[in-house]
Structure 1
Amino acid sequence: MSSLERFGGDREMRIGNAERDALADLLRASVDQGYLDLNEYEKRVDVVMAAKSVGEAAPALVDLPAYHKILDADEPEKLGTPDWIKWLWFGISIPIGINLGVWLILLFTIGAVYFWPAWVVAPLVVVATALTLAERTIIRPAEERKRRERLRRKRNSR
């Protein structure tokens, strides 16, 4: 997958004059930094200016470090597990641990004991699992959409 595919998401996505000009500026900066000579610059600018889609412009840019720096700076970091999910699971582990500890003490002191901690463990695990699944399937995708939209607006404002 080329860098332009990551940027555009689709090799067939059309680019306009503003994108072509920005890419030509990037090529010009690459000449100034010594990555391209003037002959190669002219060939690449011709490719970029003739490009109608992301896929057509990709060959002129994919090997330039400056282009990769721009793309890497614009890519949002992946969302990790939110702190509230971590604290939720830590929080339910405390009463579960206490109940299992008491049950084990009773088991080893008086013998076979009914597994009553299940009445504590089951509801806590069900609620924590439901909240975790809601975060993964509803909240996280909504946050990702918002972040992609902010990034798209930021790119379009340039």
Structure 2
Amino acid sequence: MTTSAWPAPTTQRAGDRDREATATLLGQALAQGYLDMAEYEARLPTAFSAQTTADLRRLTADLPLAQLRRNDPRRRAALRAAARRSVRLHLAGYLAMVVIVLTVWLAVGLTAGSWYFWPIWPILGAGIGVLGHAVPIRYACR
């Protein structure tokens, strides 16, 4: 049996992602009034120079982390903007589909003389999908 040259770690080392997450939490605490500017400025350099995750946890031990993550106004605004953007993208795809099926219908009508308005079915079906996406987003973002 061989023994390792490295001792078993007693604490976990902190990485850049851990340091950045802690800095983000400290910024949210500042924005929501849990920290004043002097406290924030004192904790931030400590967060970026921390070597272990225990050091990072000590910096945020006195903060209500669940409240910071859930009630951050910037987070809510970003979620609303992403939801609205998703509806706009869905609508753009829908309108592109409408233009394509109407163009195909017109081309078939002009060349074959078949004027049955079949595009109504994909237009209605996809339109229901767009409405099913847009209406809940509209009411959720109020």
TM-score by length of 1: 0.35
